[in-house]
């Protein structure tokens, strides 16, 4: 096999893994909000964009260490999550049309605010990790490997949190049976706020990292939101296993297809694949079958 082919394959695999892990972080947060509050947070992509810009601003304009900037971004966006839960989501519990309206309002405000304050269209956060790893003929930037490791370790942490801690158990209880959970004395508002903070923090992490991996634009949230929705319907909405599996598929396709196709054609092919799969599995790959 030619050397260039091997390089291409390795680069594609690593790219697929990084993209998948970032997509999964976002889709997982979205799924949390759906399971616990019955909310489809269409503004999740914008939260991701805001996270990326806060990190960028802290790292370049204020000039502090990137990792510190990342933590600040996560904290600020996490706090914003509490605000969103209380004032934006709680009043519209389970009403999908109103949620769409509120989210569009939020998207309009945040995207335009960023677009006005950042007149330069495309920016990049400075690299978090310098240097290149060389193994034989293959060379990889450390940054990619670190991003992938961060993604995976966060995933493991979140899954451990849901499955092992008391708060995680409460979350699952609320997701399964809201009324039952209330009767058991679980503070539903606290659990919702916690889910919102986790979801927003995950989105901010993904945004901050992707700001360095790809680039920043005020509209970066829209593209990633489409990815998240693709993952959700493919995996079956509400299913965490579905998110992991579909995230891997979408991330891989996203890394592989552009080798041969243009950007728009990639999008069209992905959507075609998902539509066809859904026509055979109307509840997604891991969705619960409605038994009537």
Partner 1 sequence: MGSMIAARDSSSRRKNYTQIILYGILICFLLFIPLFFQSPYVLHLFILTLVYIIAAASMRFIMTSGQIPLAHAAFLGLGAYVSAVLSKHVGLSPWLSLFIAAFVAMGVGIFISFPFARLKAFYYAMVSLFFGVGLLQAIESLGKLTGGLAGITAIPTLFNTASKVPYYYCFLALTLVSLVILYRFEVSRIGWNLKAIDQSYLVSSSVGISEVKYRVLAVAIGCFFVGLAGGMYANYNVTLSPSSFDSSVTLWMIIYVTIGGMNNFSGPIIGTAVLFLIPQYFSGLKQYAPFISAAILFLVIFMFRNGLVCIPGLLMAFYKRKKSTSKSR
The residues that touch partner 1, with contacts defined as CB under 8 A, are 40, 91-92, 96-98, 100-102, 104-106, 108-109, 112, 115-116, 226, 229-230, 232-233, 237, 264-265, 267-268, 271-272, 274-275, 278-279, 282-284, 290, 292
Judged by beta carbon, residue 27 or residue 201, the one nearer partner 1 is 27
At closest approach, how far in Å is the CB of 246 from partner 1?
12
Element holding 132 (H helix, E strand) = strand 132-135
Structure tokens at 25: 């972080």
Judged by beta carbon, residue 55 or residue 234, the one nearer partner 1 is 234
Judged by beta carbon, residue 45 or residue 151, the one nearer partner 1 is 45
Q: CA-CA distance, 184 to 208, in Å (whole number)?
A: 38
Judged by beta carbon, residue 208 or residue 217, the one nearer partner 1 is 217
Q: Please, what's the b/e burial string for 41-56 (b: 16 or more CB within 10 A of its CB; e: otherwise)? A: bbbbbbbbbbbbbbbb
Contact 142, 134 (CB under 8 A): no
Distances (CA, A) of 281 to 16, 144, 274: 25, 34, 10
Q: Is the dihedral of CA 257, 263, 269, 270 positive or negative?
A: positive
At closest approach, how far in Å is the CB of 77 from partner 1?
20
At closest approach, how far in Å is the CB of 126 from partner 1?
28
Total residues found in the chain within this entry = 292
Q: H-type helices in the chain, by residue range?
A: 3-37, 44-56, 66-84, 96-117, 142-164, 166-176, 178-183, 188-213, 220-235, 240-256, 263-280
At closest approach, how far in Å is the CB of 275 from partner 1?
5
At closest approach, how far in Å is the CB of 147 from partner 1?
28
Judged by beta carbon, residue 14 or residue 114, the one nearer partner 1 is 114
Of 211, 229, 208, 217, whose CA–CA distance to 271 is shortest?
229
Q: CA-CA distance, 92 to 249, in Å (whole number)?
A: 33
At closest approach, how far in Å is the CB of 286 from partner 1?
13
At closest approach, how far in Å is the CB of 102 from partner 1?
6
Judged by beta carbon, residue 127 or residue 281, the one nearer partner 1 is 281
Judged by beta carbon, residue 128 or residue 245, the one nearer partner 1 is 245
């Amino acid at each position: 096999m030619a050397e260039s082919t091997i390089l291409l394959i390795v680069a594609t695999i690593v790219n697929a893994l990084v993209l998948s892990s970032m997509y999964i972080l976002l889709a997982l947060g979205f799924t949390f909000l759906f399971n616990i509050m019955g909310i489809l947070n269409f503004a999740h992509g914008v939260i991701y964009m805001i996270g990326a810009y806060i990190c960028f601003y802290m790292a370049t304009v204020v000039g502090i260490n990137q990792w510190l900037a990342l933590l600040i971004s996560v904290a600020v966006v996490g706090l914003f999550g509490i605000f969103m839960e209380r004032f934006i989501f709680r009043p519209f519990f389970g009403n999908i049309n109103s949620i769409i309206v509120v989210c569009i309002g939020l998207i309009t405000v945040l995207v335009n605010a960023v677009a006005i304050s950042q007149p330069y269209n495309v920016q990049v956060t400075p690299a978090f990790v310098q240097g290149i790893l060389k193994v034989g003929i293959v060379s990889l930037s450390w940054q990619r490997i670190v991003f992938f490791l961060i993604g995976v370790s966060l995933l493991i942490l979140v899954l451990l949190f849901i499955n092992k801690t008391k708060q995680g158990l409460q979350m699952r209880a609320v997701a399964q049976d809201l009324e039952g959970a209330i009767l058991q004395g679980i503070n539903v508002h606290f659990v919702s706020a916690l889910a919102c903070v986790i979801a927003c923090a995950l989105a901010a992490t993904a945004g901050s990292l992707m700001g360095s991996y790809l680039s920043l634009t005020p509209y970066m949230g829209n593209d990633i939101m489409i990815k998240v929705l693709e993952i959700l319907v493919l995996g079956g909405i509400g299913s965490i296993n579905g998110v992991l599996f579909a995230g891997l598929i979408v991330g891989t396709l996203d890394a592989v297809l552009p080798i041969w196709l243009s950007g728009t054609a990639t999008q069209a092919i992905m959507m075609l694949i998902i539509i066809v799969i859904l026509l055979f599995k109307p509840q997604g790959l891991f969705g619960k079958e409605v038994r009537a």
